[in-house]
């Protein structure tokens, strides 16, 4: 834990206690746990908001006849986990969503899966369950089987109380949950007048996979594989966050070469996804020329992944204690050639986009997300950085190998689709420079550290800058080197609500490109 973290945390703790909020401070290696009384839960959120802390994640776990409810806060790269212990008979907390909009869906998730009630919640509608389980059945409780109690036919989800709008010329447009092509399911309900969007409401959770439930009882190796499948386009980010959490619990450090290889994998994942997104944004405004070239560049990049790491998407390359792959000198030559070719092609392609007036007309000023709203929702990654939120864990709370390199965080402040496009481009440029620095630092060494079985109850918090932004993974171990609790928080869980704001006052035909500029993961959201 850094001296800067200790100083800030001690000062903040002093102010919290002075404000009349009693907490018990438990110091961990990379984060702090603050135990708090249930009735002080919302008061702490109000004080934290006043002090400029960002609400980052929320989750719960059941231990014997009690529930531990957690909320993670961040400021200046330092993290605090606030924890309240609730008896099973009185599993109730005041809602923090009245202070932090980002807590809204997380609290609904905890209620639907554990039965913990959040009083005065601004939106108590069920979020996750979708009629798949009977009323008063809570799948993440220990007495609920992983297979559940499936009915022959799941009742249709017909009666979700979407917000209604009335008035002259107001009409509704339902989109999804089934979409054309292979896109995952999600429902979007619009109210509009003419083509102008007055309101958008999302209904997600259709691909609920039971990730948290089926993680229970797994070995560390099995959990790493599962984490890599939370969202297939972020297999490196989620596997790294889960492994980092497990390594904290086991009190081990990975070898320097393994850390550099993880960095190389993460930046290659970042570049591939940004190339795909930039092409898809152009495709949604019918600029097919750019979409074809970005897709081609992404495909070449993925083929190199397959050649070097035996997986196009870099699945299962990160394992507890290190990595399962290596990079030879001949492979480094391939990576350098990849970077050289990509730079040259982007130098030719980007001016054609920058000077295209049709693209400018569709992307600039559309899908505007203001800095205050981005801050209020805690927007992450390129969504936040396009609206003036410059937080990047690689710089602000650096972990190996990012603590030994320098790079510039890409940022814009116009908050529109064009800003989200250009932030992606700048991140590609920064990622290529990082790849070059990591390869320069590579020296012979071990790829893994021998595993050390954690004690029962040991816990860890993995925090990684994935390509969409901050990923948080919580892990607690049971006895026998098995997992008792795993919670992965994908950046999309935080970013999806911002879509409901950035489409307002846009026209309905611009929704696809607004949506693509955010590109939230359905799978990463629907655990």
**pLDDT per residue as tens digits for the range 112-142:** 999 999 999 999 998 987 787 888 889 999 9
Kindly give the residue spans of alpha helices, DSSP state H, lying in 131-227. Answer: 211-214, 220-227
Nearest to 4 by CA among 292, 322, 497, 397: 397
Q: Distance between CA 176 and CA 28 in Å, rounded? A: 44
The Cβ of residue 229 has, within 10 Å, a number of other Cβ atoms equal to 16
Confidence band of 6 (pLDDT split at 50, 70, 90): low
Predicted pLDDT at 358 = 84
Using the structure block, give the residue that is written with the tokens 């919290």. 16
Predicted pLDDT at 29 = 61
Nearest to 400 by CA among 507, 192, 261: 261
Phi, psi of 335 (to 5 degrees): -65, -45
Predicted pLDDT at 335 = 95
Q: Which two tokens stand for residue 500?
A: 């409901």
Half-sphere exposure (CA, 13 Å, Cβ side) for 5? Answer: 16
User: Where do the domains of the chain lie, and which CATH numbers do they carry?
Assistant: 3-119 (3.30.460.80), 170-203 (no CATH), 211-525 (1.10.645.10)
Q: Is 95 left (phi over 0), alpha (psi -120 to 50) or beta?
A: beta
pLDDT tens, residue by residue, 471-518 = 999 999 999 999 999 999 999 999 999 999 999 999 999 999 999 999
Predicted pLDDT at 5 = 61
Q: Distance between CA 96 and CA 305 in Å, rounded? A: 43
For the chain, counts of helices (H) and of strands (E): 17, 15
Cα of first residue to Cα of last residue in the chain, in angstroms, is 30
Confidence band of 392 (pLDDT split at 50, 70, 90): very high
Quick one: average pLDDT of 370-397?
95
Q: Which two tokens stand for residue 201?
A: 């409401």
In sequence order, what are the residues at sequence separation of 6 or more whose Cβ sits closer than 8 angstroms to the Cβ of residue 458?
Answer: 249, 250, 476, 477
Nearest to 108 by CA among 149, 150, 59: 59
Are residues 334 and 257 in contact, defined by beta-carbon separation less than 8 angstroms?
A: no
DSSP code of residue 456: T
For 161-164, which contacts have Cβ atoms below 8 Å and span 24 or more sequence positions? Answer: 161/125, 162/189, 162/201, 162/203, 163/189, 163/191, 163/199, 163/201
On average, the pLDDT of the chain sits at 93
Return the H-helix or E-strand segment holding 112: helix 103-114
Predicted pLDDT at 88 = 86
Check pLDDT > 60 for residue 76: yes
Check pLDDT > 80 for residue 299: yes
Using the structure block, give the residue that is written with the tokens 């986990």. 81
pLDDT tens, residue by residue, 422-472 = 999 999 999 999 999 999 999 999 999 999 999 999 999 999 999 999 999
pLDDT tens, residue by residue, 331-351 = 999 999 999 999 999 999 999
User: Is the peptide bond preceding residue 169 cis, with omega within 30 degrees of 0?
Assistant: no
Q: Which two tokens stand for residue 485?
A: 């609790």
Using the structure block, give the residue that is written with the tokens 């050639």. 337
Check pLDDT > 60 for residue 3: no
Predicted pLDDT at 2 = 58
Are residues 278 and 513 in contact, defined by beta-carbon separation less than 8 angstroms?
A: no
Q: Which two tokens stand for residue 162?
A: 């979407």
Quick one: average pLDDT of 301-314?
96
Quick one: average pLDDT of 13-23?
84
Check pLDDT > 80 for residue 92: yes
Predicted pLDDT at 21 = 84
Q: Distance between CA 450 and CA 468 in Å, rounded? A: 31
Confidence band of 200 (pLDDT split at 50, 70, 90): very high
Q: Distance between CA 417 and CA 360 in Å, rounded? A: 10
In sequence order, what are the residues at sequence separation of 6 or more whose Cβ sits closer than 8 angstroms to the Cβ of residue 50?
Answer: none
Nearest to 272 by CA among 490, 428, 470, 465: 428
Confidence band of 400 (pLDDT split at 50, 70, 90): very high
In sequence order, what are the residues at sequence separation of 6 or more whose Cβ sits closer than 8 angstroms to the Cβ of residue 109?
Answer: 127, 128, 527
Decide: residue 83, CB within 10 A, 0-12 exposed, 13-18 middle, 19+ buried.
buried
Are residues 99 and 46 in contact, defined by beta-carbon separation less than 8 angstroms?
A: yes
Quick one: average pLDDT of 254-259?
97
CA Rg value for the chain:
23
Confidence band of 366 (pLDDT split at 50, 70, 90): very high
pLDDT tens, residue by residue, 150-189 = 888 877 777 888 988 888 889 999 988 888 777 888 999 9
pTM of the predicted protein model: 0.95
Check pLDDT > 70 for residue 111: yes
pLDDT tens, residue by residue, 213-248 = 999 999 999 999 999 999 999 999 999 999 999 999
Confidence band of 279 (pLDDT split at 50, 70, 90): very high
Predicted pLDDT at 385 = 97
């Amino acid at each position: 834990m850094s001296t800067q973290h200790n100083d800030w945390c001690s000062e903040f703790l002093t102010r919290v206690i002075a404000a009349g909020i009693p907490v018990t401070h438990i110091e961990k290696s990379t984060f702090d746990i603050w135990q708090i009384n249930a009735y002080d839960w919302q008061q702490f959120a109000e004080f934290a908001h006043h002090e400029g802390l960002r609400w980052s994640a929320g989750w719960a776990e059941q231990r014997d006849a009690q529930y531990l409810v957690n909320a993670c806060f961040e400021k200046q790269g330092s993290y605090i986990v606030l924890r309240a212990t609730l008896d099973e008979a009185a599993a109730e907390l005041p809602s923090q969503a009245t202070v932090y909009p980002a807590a809204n869906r997380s609290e609904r998730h905890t209620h639907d899966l554990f039965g913990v009630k959040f009083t005065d919640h601004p939106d108590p509608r069920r979020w996750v369950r979708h009629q798949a389980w009977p009323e008063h059945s809570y799948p993440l409780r220990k007495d609920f089987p992983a297979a559940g109690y499936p009915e022959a036919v799941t009742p249709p989800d017909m009666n979700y109380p979407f917000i209604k709008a009335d008035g002259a010329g107001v009409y509704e447009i339902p989109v999804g949950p089934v979409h054309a092509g292979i896109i995952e399911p999600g429902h979007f309900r619009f109210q509009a007048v003419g083509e102008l969007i007055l309101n958008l409401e999302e209904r997600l959770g259709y691909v609920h996979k039971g990730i948290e439930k089926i993680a229970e009882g797994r070995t560390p190796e099995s959990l790493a594989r599962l984490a890599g499948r939370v969202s297939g386009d972020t297999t490196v980010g989620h596997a790294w966050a889960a492994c980092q959490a497990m390594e904290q619990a086991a009190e081990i450090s990975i070898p320097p070469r393994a850390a550099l290889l993880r960095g190389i994998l993460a930046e290659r994942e970042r570049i591939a996804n940004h190339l795909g997104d930039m092409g898809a944004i152009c495709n949604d405004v019918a600029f097919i020329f750019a979409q074809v070239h970005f897709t081609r560049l992404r495909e070449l990049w993925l083929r190199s992944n397959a050649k070097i790491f035996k997986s196009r998407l870099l699945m299962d390359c990160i394992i507890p204690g290190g990595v399962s792959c290596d990079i030879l000198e001949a492979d480094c030559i391939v990576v350098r050639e990849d970077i050289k070719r990509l730079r040259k092609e982007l130098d030719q392609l980007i001016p054609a986009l920058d000077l295209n007036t049709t693209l400018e007309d569709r992307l600039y000023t559309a899908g505007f997300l203001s800095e205050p709203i981005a801050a209020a929702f805690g927007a992450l990654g390129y969504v936040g950085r396009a609206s003036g939120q410059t937080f990047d864990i690689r710089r602000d709370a650096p972990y190996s190998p990012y603590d030994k390199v320098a790079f510039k965080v890409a940022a814009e402040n116009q908050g529109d689709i064009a800003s989200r496009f250009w932030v992606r481009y700048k991140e590609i440029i920064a990622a290529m420079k990082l790849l070059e620095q990591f390869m320069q630092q590579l020296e012979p060494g071990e790829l893994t550290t021998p595993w050390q079985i954690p004690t029962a109850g040991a816990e860890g918090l993995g925090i990684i800058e994935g390509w969409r932004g901050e990923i948080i993974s919580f892990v607690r171990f049971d006895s026998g080197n098995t997992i008792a609790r795993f919670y992965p928080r994908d950046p999309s869980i935080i970013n999806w609500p911002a879509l409901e704001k950035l489409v307002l006052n846009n026209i309905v035909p611009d929704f696809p490109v607004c949506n693509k500029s955010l590109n939230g993961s359905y799978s990463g959201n629907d655990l």
